[in-house]
Amino acid sequence: MRSEFGLNKGNDEPMNSKLMHVHPKWRTFIKYCESMKNGEIEKLKIQDGLPVLAEEVKRKIQFERKK
């Protein structure tokens, strides 16, 4: 059975071999996450299934402990 996202239910692969379309807002969000390397997004606002705003972003830096 096909879901609303064009995926087989119970399977994460698209029904056909074509690349799945990713909305430009999701691409921007993914690129932002990649650029963060490490961090935490506390709140993410989604409207109509698309990311609209990351309200608060925190970075955590963990320093090595001396033995």
Splitting the chain (67 residues) into consecutive groups of 10 residues, what average pLDDT does each group show? 52 62 92 84 89 76 74
Q: How far apart are the C-alpha atoms of 25 and 39, rounded to whole Å?
A: 20
Buried b / exposed e along 4-33 (16+ C-beta atoms within 10 A)? eeeeeeeeeeeeeeeeeeeeeeeeebeeee
List the domain range (segments joined by +) for residue 11.
Answer: 1-67
Is residue 58 within a helix (H) or strand (E), and if so which, with residue range? Answer: strand 50-58
Residue 25's region, left for phi above 0, alpha for psi from -120 to 50, else beta, is alpha
For residue 65, the model assigns a pLDDT of: 76
CB atoms within 10 A of CB 44: 13
Instruction: Domain count for the chain, please give it.
Output: 1
